[in-house]
Structure formats: structure tokens, C-alpha cells
């Protein structure tokens, strides 16, 4: 395609939202008009599915749940007056709580004010808040936030050691819908112990975001925590950023949550248009379908050319992969759907993996995130007439051109600046695109059976660990791994037992291993009191 034709195609397929100042350019995706025509019936169904979802239909049939994250930014859409009031009151509760923290009506027992926050969560309860914090938190926030988003002991130690002297003025947020998810529960227990070690009352500095009457809700109320904030069962973890999960930590950092909600609401209105060409989320979903042949045949590479948006690719990784990556479709057919998502940031990508993207295997399509505003204020020149921001813009455009010349498809999403409104709009844009794509490929985009399977398998390993330890304790002589497996009644789990023993031995947990470590079958195991 020559330059004149390409310029015309750019104009034909450029979407612009005047109110948000947002552009979407899909002109460098290789679809043609015939492809768009074949997609129209699929999108007619997708638009109807989405309208039903917003109206309160059971959009998550496996769990018999409504899917209501769109109501969070426009309570008038909620299907009942009770739900509408619940949403309105939830936002008011957040704002009232933050106001009391700011004016020190709510403060720690032994410090004049809260200076830090520990946010404990996993998955959507961490990725969304982390992304928004990185994108929007002031350089000097009123309260610095630290995330415990794993059950990694060294990672927890790193956070606790970092704020050890400020634990006395730290507010702890534990986020878990059920209250029984191991990772946030474990993080909470570790933080509780750190408070106890400093003779601090954890309950007087703790709040919970959880389901009503969940294990965590009951615990928090029984121990007298400062407050609890509800998580509704119609909001999934990966779409919970605009609920209390994301809004409360953001507000405590001084981020304008009303602007985030407004940006999302405006984008929701734009993506409610039942026409592919005038709906940015539909344009994204169509582009994904084209690139992946509706079967996940290519990966999505996300490259934000702005440091503050670095975590957007991680946020999208969960949103897209957990929503679309499904073994079965809604009719029960084995389909193995999904789109793999990964990313870095520009122009760091230029010195990381663009070499392969340009010249290597063509198993991907790209999404560039462009921000027009370089910084607040005027940039100094680094060369005559050239600033750092000019370089960044040139590198984005040059990289896209170099990739296009080698037949690599790409999308560009452009926002005027990184602010609460545009971040809210980005979140809403991709939430809707994922919902549309789920309908296009006929999968339930709102459950995660694979995640649940992993949790069950992990629980089985921990149960086996207890039995193995008992076998070793009861033994009079050292036992081989095979003997332990037999006595535990699980000879088929010998490899898992060996790896469990190795882990326990490495951590001084009463297990002593002797023998040739290169030949696990030769090892003998005995119990040592710790």
C-alpha cells in the first residue's frame, strides 16, 4: 500500500473521542472490508449480549452471577434501586473515611496521623491498585503505599523492613472477597505478627475490603478493626479497580477517584454504540479477532510509551488472559481459547525485544499506548530544536513504521495526558473490549475455573505435606523417599513428596536429607527437632 493509500486508510479507520481527547488507530491491522462485513453478525450478537449484561442478566452462568462493574461508574444503570443505593453509599463511605483520615479524626493510637499504607491482596485486588498508583499517585503522596501481593516470605520481609520504623503510623488494607484466599490471608497474618512484635494493636490500624459476612468480614468485626468496605459478588476481581478495591487505596493517596469514575463512565457511553466503526472497544475486539483468527494464534504485545503506564501491560495481562483463556466455550465444546499478553515500555523495548518483533517469528500484534503531553511545563532541548519527549515520540512512530514495513500488525491508543480521567477511560475501554471479544468467541469471560483448579491442587500438596511430616516423625529410622510415599499412602505422589521434603529441609523445618542430591532416590530422610 503506497503512502497516499495508507494515509487514506489511517483517516478511514481513525477513531477520536472529543470529550476524552482519545484516539484509536487500527489502520495498521491488515483486515479488509470483506473481513469487517463477516464480523457484523458476530458483533450484532455481542452488542445484544453486552446490553443484556448491563441490564442485569446472568452473564456469568457458571457461577450464576450478574456482572455489574459498569454500574460502579453509573449507578443509574443498576437493575434494582437497592443495588443503585449500595453503589452510591459505597462511594460515599470511601470519601467519608478518607476525609476522616485526612483531618486526623481516624488516626493510629501512637502517631499523629497515618503516613503509610500496606495493601494486601492478590490478582485483581493488587494489579489494579498497583497500576493506578504507579500511573497517578503524586510524587509526594499524603500516604505512601506498599503492596504485599504474594505469599513470598522474602517479599513480605522486604516490605516490612522498608517501613519497620513507620509501622506505628501505617494503615493496613486487607483485600479478599471470600476472606479465605491463602495469599492475602497469609500476608495479613505476617503483618499482624509484625505489629505484635512492636507491641502495636493491629486492629486499631486495619481495615478490610471483603464480601459481606465473609470470613474476613467476620474476623475484622470480631476484632474491632477500624472499618470494613463491601465487595459485591457481581464484581469480579479483575474488573474491581473501580470498586472499593481500587478506589479506597487511590483516594488515600490523594488521587481524584471521581475523575477516574467519570472517565470510565464517558468511555462506557462511547462503547455502548452498536456500530463497529464508531465504537472503540468494538474496533479493538475486531482487531484482536483478525490478528488471532479468533483462536489466539498471536500474542498481544502492549507497549506504553510513558513510564507511569509501565504496569498497564501487567494489568491487561490478567484482564485479557484470565477472561479469555478458557478450555470450553459456552456450549461446552473444547476450544482452548485465549490471547497471551506481555509488554514492557517504550523506549526501553527498543533495547530489549523489538529486535525479535521486527525480524523474528511473526507470532504477535502490538498495541502502542501514546501520551501526547510530555510533562508538565516546558522541556529543555537536548539537541537544537529537539527534546527528550520528541525523541520518545519519534521512537514510537519509527518503531511502528519499521514493524509495519516487515508486515507486523499494530494498534495505537493515544491519550492527551496521564490523568485520573484518561486512566479511568483506558480501564473501561479494555474491560468492554474483553467483554466483546468473549462474546465473539463464545466463552464466559467472567469466571476462572483454571485458577480454582490450581488453588485446589495447592491445597492437596499442603495436606500431603502434613501427612509426610507425620510419617517422618513416627519413623524410628531414616526413610527413603519411596518408603515415605508408601507409608503416606500416596506412592503415585513420590515426586511431589520429594520436592516438599527438599523445601522443608532448606527452611529448617525439621527435615534432614542425606545422600546423593543428584539422585533423589538415594536420599534418606529423618526428623530433627527444631
How many angstroms separate the CA atoms of 298 and 288, rounded?
A: 9
SS3 261: helix
Partners of 8 in the beta sheet? none
- The single residue listed with the C-alpha cell 462493574 is 69
Residue ranges of alpha helices (H) inside 163-274 are 182-197, 215-223, 244-252, 257-270
Q: How many CA atoms lie within 13 A of 144 on its CB side?
A: 10
- The single residue listed with the C-alpha cell 499506548 is 369
* Diameter over CA atoms, the chain: 85
Q: Is residue 120 within a helix (H) or strand (E), and if so which, with residue range?
A: strand 116-120
Strand bridging mode 524-527 / 410-415: unpaired
Strand bridging mode 381-383 / 386-387: antiparallel
Contact 339, 324 (CB under 8 A): yes
Name the catalytic one among 84, 204, 455, 486. Answer: 455
How many angstroms separate the CA atoms of 240 and 232, rounded?
A: 10
Active site residue 322: yes
What's the burial of 300, exposed, middle or buried (CB within 10 Å: 0-12/13-18/19+)?
A: buried
Active site residue 18: no
Active site residue 351: yes
Question: Cis omega before residue 347 (within 30°)?
Answer: yes
- The single residue listed with the C-alpha cell 503415585 is 492
Nearest to 261 by CA among 79, 31, 420: 420
Name the catalytic one among 18, 82, 351, 407. Answer: 351
How many angstroms separate the CA atoms of 387 and 377, rounded?
A: 12
Name the catalytic one among 54, 241, 322, 370. Answer: 322
Cell of 7: 494515509
Nearest-10 crossing angle of helices 257-270, 244-252: 140
Instruction: Name the residues annotated as catalytic.
Output: 322, 351, 455
Amino acid at each position: 500500500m503506497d503512502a497516499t493509500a495508507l494515509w487514506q486508510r489511517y483517516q478511514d479507520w481513525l477513531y477520536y473521542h472529543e470529550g476524552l481527547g482519545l484516539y484509536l488507530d487500527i489502520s495498521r491491522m491488515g483486515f479488509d472490508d470483506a473481513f469487517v462485513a463477516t464480523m457484523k453478525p458476530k458483533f450484532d450478537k455481542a452488542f445484544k449480549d453486552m446490553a443484556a449484561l448491563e441490564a442485569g442478566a446472568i452473564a456469568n452462568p457458571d457461577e450464576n452471577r450478574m456482572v455489574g462493574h459498569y454500574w460502579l461508574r453509573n449507578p443509574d444503570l443498576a437493575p434494582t434501586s437497592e443495588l443503585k443505593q449500595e453503589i452510591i453509599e459505597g462511594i460515599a463511605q470511601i470519601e467519608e473515611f478518607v476525609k476522616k483520615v485526612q483531618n486526623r479524626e481516624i488516626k493510629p493510637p501512637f502517631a499523629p496521623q497515618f503516613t503509610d499504607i500496606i495493601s494486601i491482596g492478590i490478582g485483581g485486588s493488587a494489579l489494579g491498585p498497583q497500576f493506578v498508583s504507579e500511573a497517578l499517585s503524586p510524587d509526594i503522596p499524603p500516604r505512601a503505599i506498599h503492596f504485599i501481593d504474594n505469599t513470598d516470605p522474602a517479599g513480605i520481609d522486604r516490605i516490612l523492613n522498608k517501613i519497620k520504623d513507620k509501622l506505628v503510623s501505617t494503615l493496613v488494607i486487607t483485600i479478599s472477597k471470600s476472606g479465605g484466599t491463602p495469599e492475602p490471608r497469609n500476608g495479613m497474618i505476617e503483618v499482624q505478627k509484625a505489629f505484635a512484635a512492636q507491641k502495636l494493636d493491629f486492629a486499631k490500624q486495619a481495615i478490610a475490603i471483603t464480601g459481606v459476612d465473609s470470613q474476613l468480614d467476620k474476623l475484622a468485626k470480631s476484632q474491632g478493626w477500624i472499618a470494613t468496605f463491601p465487595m459485591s459478588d457481581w464484581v469480579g476481581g479483575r474488573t474491581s479497580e473501580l470498586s472499593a478495591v481500587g478506589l479506597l487505596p487511590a483516594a488515600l493517596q490523594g488521587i481524584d477517584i471521581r475523575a477516574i469514575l467519570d472517565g470510565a463512565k464517558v468511555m462506557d457511553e462511547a462503547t455502548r454504540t452498536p456500530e463497529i466503526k464508531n465504537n472503540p472497544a468494538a474496533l479493538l475486539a475486531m482487531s484482536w479477532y483478525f490478528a488471532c483468527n479468533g483462536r489466539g494464534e498471536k500474542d498481544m504485545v502492549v507497549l506504553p510509551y510513558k513510564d507511569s503506564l509501565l504496569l498497564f501491560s501487567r494489568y491487561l495481562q490478567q484482564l485479557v488472559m484470565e477472561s479469555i483463556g478458557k478450555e470450553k466455550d459456552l456450549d461446552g465444546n473444547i476450544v482452548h481459547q485465549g490471547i497471551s499478553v506481555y509488554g514492557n515500555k517504550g523506549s526501553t523495548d527498543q533495547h530489549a525485544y523489538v529486535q525479535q518483533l521486527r525480524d523474528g517469528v511473526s507470532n504477535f500484534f502490538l498495541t502502542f499506548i501514546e501520551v501526547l503531553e510530555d510533562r508538565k511545563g516546558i522541556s529543555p532541548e537536548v539537541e537544537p530544536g529537539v527534546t527528550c519527549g520528541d525523541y520518545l515520540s519519534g521512537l514510537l512512530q519509527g518503531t511502528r513504521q519499521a514493524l509495519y514495513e516487515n508486515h507486523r500488525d499494530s494498534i495505537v491508543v493515544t491519550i492527551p495526558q496521564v490523568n485520573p480521567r484518561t486512566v479511568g477511560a483506558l480501564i473501561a475501554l479494555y474491560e468492554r473490549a474483553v467483554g466483546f471479544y468473549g462474546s465473539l468467541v463464545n466463552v464466559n469471560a467472567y469466571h476462572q475455573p483454571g485458577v480454582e483448579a490450581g488453588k485446589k491442587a495447592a491445597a492437596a500438596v499442603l495436606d500431603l505435606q502434613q501427612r509426610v511430616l507425620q510419617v517422618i516423625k513416627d519413623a524410628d529410622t531414616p526413610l527413603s523417599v519411596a518408603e515415605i510415599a508408601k507409608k503416606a499412602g500416596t506412592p503415585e505422589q513420590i515426586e511431589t513428596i520429594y520436592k516438599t521434603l527438599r523445601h522443608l529441609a532448606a527452611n529448617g523445618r525439621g527435615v534432614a536429607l542425606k545422600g546423593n542430591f543428584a539422585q533423589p532416590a538415594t536420599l534418606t530422610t529423618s526428623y530433627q527437632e527444631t
